[in-house]
Amino acid sequence: MEASKTPMTGRVWPIDLTDVLSARARIAAHIPRTPLRRYASLEAAIGDRIEIWVKHENHCPTNSFKARNALSAMSALTAGEKQSGVVAATRGNHGLGVAWAGSLLRVAVTICVPLGNNLEKNEGMRGYSATLVEKGRDYDESLAVAQSLVREQGLTMLHSTNDPRVIAGAATLCFEVLEEQPELDAIVVSVGGGS
């Protein structure tokens, strides 16, 4: 992967520890520490007396870790960017996080979703006062619509994965895990869109 400059600091990707610590400080007042729990039935299924700890990001305000990401990105915006508003493309959880963070920080949010997107996710985003633009057959086409709104209306793009402020927000959950269980041998993370 070719290195690129981050919008936050002008440094070369990837993010570093200072980005994560800064994100953690920005979101701490609004994202409660999520539970880290063991489950006997899960450990029995894995076997070999391995202790398994599960991080419950479903306890974040939008029931998804994406709330961390969105609040990290939005709380790092300049005053001018906040005034102009933001746009994001999503199929659900990222849009919910951006809409929630926008309602918290009083930033206008536009969310682009594909036609036929999950109705409950759409209503959740609208519930946080986001403007929904339903266009495109899939995420990629909705992203193109969002990019056109950046050009036409001067909105700030909050990409679900290709933004160091978003990545730094996602990384904050690792601090919580390691503070609670510093002797872990491994951390297993499921990866979808990449954040």
| SS3 readout for 149-186 | HHHHHCCEECCCCCCHHHHHHHHHHHHHHHHHCCCCCC
Q: Which tokens go with 108?
A: 């206008």
List pLDDT tens digits, range 135-147.
999 999 999 999 9
List pLDDT tens digits, range 69-111.
999 999 999 999 999 999 999 999 999 999 999 999 999 999 9
Could you tell me if residue 177 is inside a domain?
yes
Could you tell me if residue 1 is inside a domain?
no
Could you tell me if residue 21 is inside a domain?
yes
- Check which CATH number belongs to the domain holding 120 and give it: 3.40.50.1100
Q: Among 22-26, 108-112, 144-148, 185-189, which stretch is predicted with the lowest mean pLDDT?
A: 185-189
What was the pLDDT predicted at 2? 43
- What mean pLDDT is predicted for residues 17-21? 94
List 157's β-bridge partners, or say none: 87
CB atoms within 10 A of CB 194: 10
What was the pLDDT predicted at 97? 97
What was the pLDDT predicted at 192? 67
Q: 62 and 104 in contact (C-beta within 8 Å)?
A: no
What is the percent of the chain where pLDDT is above 70? 91
Return the residue matching tokens 């400059």.
Answer: 5
What was the pLDDT predicted at 1? 36
Instruction: Spell out where the chain has E strands.
Output: 36-38, 53-55, 86-89, 109-113, 131-134, 156-157
Could you tell me if residue 195 is inside a domain?
no
Mean pLDDT in the chain?
A: 91
Q: 124 and 54 in contact (C-beta within 8 Å)?
A: no
Residue 116: CA atoms inside 13 Å, Cβ hemisphere, count? 5
Residue 174 Cα to chain centre, angstroms: 14
Could you tell me if residue 40 is inside a domain?
yes
Residue 8 reports pLDDT greater than 60: no
Rounded distance between C-alpha atoms, residue 8 and residue 173, angstroms: 20
Domain that holds residue 100: 14-190
Instruction: Spell out where 135-193 has E strands.
Output: 156-157
Question: What is the number of domains present in the chain?
Answer: 1
Could you tell me if residue 5 is inside a domain?
no
Could you tell me if residue 183 is inside a domain?
yes
Could you tell me if residue 3 is inside a domain?
no
- What mean pLDDT is predicted for residues 23-50? 95
CB atoms within 10 A of CB 18: 12
